Structure 1
Amino acid sequence: MKKRKFKISDIIFAVFILLLLIPQTRTPIQVAVNTLKVAVWSPSVEDEENQSEVTPFQYTVIDLQGETQSISVGKGKVTFISYWATWCPPCIAELPGIQELYNEYADQVNFILLTQESPERVQRFINKRGYELPIYIPQMRAPEALQENSIPTNYVIDANGRIIIKETGAADWNSTKVRELLNGLIEK
């Protein structure tokens, strides 16, 4: 019987698997892989016949300082809603694009980034990474059209409550396609 010789690719593969098993290295590797996906994956606009609607409502949330707020959704202003978490590699990978989009459209679009984590943990996370995003903890159950069990899940909702984009998984939110869509929705 012939002995199998180890190749350098076998060693690299074994090291990669080992790194995935170590908690301290797993998340950075997963974020890096998802960042590659974000670089090529732009969110898709729902076909008109598949677009659902939410009845305009007030989203009751608590900000990271503990203040209760009520944010309008589907009431005359475009809304971007993101369900995410600090421990979620795809969420971490897409946050830089969301930050860039927020920097450009904060005055024209309602941004609502929702997490179920403690405000202290979220504050440490955003401070460490230098984000300045409107992050909230929901205080109500979302309407049925906005309920999804996967994170990240992001929605772009027009001023009348139509869900124009529903994207589950990491995506490039700072793409030309998304910016053109927002510009068109804001002009309406």
Structure 2
Amino acid sequence: MSKKGSNKEKSSSLKKEITQWIFILLIGGALYASGYHTEVIGKIQSVLLYTGILQPNTESSIMHGERAEYSMPLLTIDGDRIYLSEFEGKTIFMNLWATWCPPCIAEMPNIQRLYNDIDDEDIVFVMASLDQDPQKAWDFVARKEFTFPVYSVIAKPRVYDSSVVPTTYVISPQGDIVMEHQGMAKYDTEEFKKFLRSVSSL
């Protein structure tokens, strides 16, 4: 092959690669401008969680060893101010999340499945949104047709002041934080359900 022909192939290959990158950047820009980039990234991560390609291990979660702070103020979807103390004496699965957080969105379908499978009045779910505008959380949950209880965080006590979103806590009926998991995880496993029920029976 002549040098001229080789240069022509390289030039054609380079143009093709540049075109592909422009296309990717245009799609990425359009998703970002529309606000759907978070959900798209979250969906990809959710698929990875489901397939097991990316499956964080909840066994590595921190056994916190601290007492729960029940004075944490929350806003209900109806606009009422309540406190975590509403659930004192029960096992609490509390997930701190936000609509702008792809890993949060990724783990929500499996949390919904966990919620569906746990039919126990002594285990409560507190999906606590960190969005500055609570309406964003309400709208997102309604659009996705999630049915777990969603609240907006008014203020976070020091004990729940994790710098990682999402962070999930499991609080025992006695008020001990028995699990703190930073980052997304797959919770709708038989092992985790067994763990949650065992905490409830302490």
Say yes or no: TM over 0.5.
Answer: yes
Q: CA shift at 1:151, angstroms?
A: 1.2
RMSD: 3.0
Is residue 168 of structure 1 aligned with residue 182 of structure 2? yes
Shift in CA distance, 74/128, structure 1 to aligned 2, threshold 3 Å: closer
Q: TM-score, normalised by structure 1?
A: 0.80
Larger radius of gyration: 2
Residue type matched to 1:111 in 2?
F
Q: TM-score, normalised by structure 2?
A: 0.75
Structure 2: distance between partners of 1:17 and 1:177: 41
Return the structure number with greater helix share: 2
- Any unmatched runs of 5+ in structure 2? none
Deviating more after overlay: 19-28 vs 147-156: 19-28
Give the match for residue 96 of structure 1.
109
Match 2:59 to one of 45, 64, 67: 45
Give the match for residue 177 of structure 1.
191
Matched residue SS, 2:111: helix
Is residue 31 of structure 1 aligned with residue 31 of structure 2? no
Structure 2: distance between partners of 1:130 and 1:139: 24
For the Cα contact (< 8 Å) 2:94–2:126, is it kept in 1? yes
Matched residue SS, 1:184: helix
Q: CA shift at 1:42, angstroms?
A: 4.5
How many residue pairs were aligned?
Answer: 185
Structure 1: distance between partners of 2:142 and 2:91: 27
Q: Which has the higher contact order (CA 8 A, sep 6+)?
A: 1
Matched residue SS, 1:111: strand
- Any unmatched runs of 5+ in structure 1? none
Q: CA shift at 1:10, angstroms?
A: 4.8
Shift in CA distance, 73/152, structure 1 to aligned 2, threshold 3 Å: farther
Q: How does 1:10-159 map to 2 (within 5 A)?
A: 10=17, 14=21, 15-22=23-30, 23=32, 24=34, 26-39=37-50, 40=52, 41-45=55-59, 50-55=63-68, 57-72=70-85, 75-105=88-118, 107-117=121-131, 118-142=133-157, 144-159=158-173
For the Cα contact (< 8 Å) 1:58–1:72, is it kept in 2? yes
